[in-house]
A and B are shown apart, each in its own frame.
Chain A
Amino acid sequence: MTRISVTVDGVKYSDDVEPRTLLVHYLRENLGKVGTVIGCDTSNCGACTVHLDGRSVKACNVLAVQADGHEVTTIEGLAEGGQLHPMQQAFHEHHALQCGYCTPGMIMQAIDILKDNASPSEEQIRAGLEGNLCRCTGYHNIVKAVSAAAEAGAGSKAGE
Chain B
Amino acid sequence: MIPASFEYLAPTSLADALSALAEAGDEGKVLAGGQSLLPVLRMRLNAPEKVIDLGRIEELRGIREDGDHLVIGAMTTHADVAASDLVWEHAAVLADAAAEVADPQIRHRGTIGGALVHADPAGDLGAPVLALDAEFVIAGPGGERTVAAADFFVDLFETAVEDGELLTAIRIPKHTGWGGHYEKFVRVAHQWSIVAVAAAVRVEDGAIAEAKVGLTNMGSTPLRAAAVESALVGRSTGDLGDACSAAADGTNPPSDLNGDAEYRKHLATVLTKRAVLAAAGG
Contact = CB atoms under 8 A, between A and B. Distances in A.
B127 to A, nearest CB: 21
Interface stretch (B31-39, B215-223, B226-234): B31-39
Nearest to A53: B108
A63 B51 CA distance: 11
Interface in B36-51: 38-39, 41-43, 51
Contacts of A34: none
Interface stretch (B4-12, B117-125, B167-175): B4-12
| Size category of the binding interface on chain A | 20 to 34
Interface string A71-101: 0000000000000000000000000000000
Interface in A55-79: 55-58, 61-63, 65-66, 68
Interface string B52-66: 010100000000000
B109 interface: yes
A130 to B, nearest CB: 4
A66 B53 contact: yes
A130 B35 contact: no
Interface stretch (A7-15, A42-50, A140-148, A149-157): A42-50
Interface residues of B, number: 30
A19 B8 contact: yes
Given A109-B104, A131-B102, A131-B104, A18 B38 contact: no
Contacts of A21: 2
A105 B106 CA distance: 14
Contacts of B8: 2, 19, 63, 65
B257 interface: no
Contact of B106 (A2, A22, A131): A131
Interface of B: 1-8, 10, 31, 34-35, 38-39, 41-43, 51, 53, 55, 79, 102-106, 108-109, 189-190
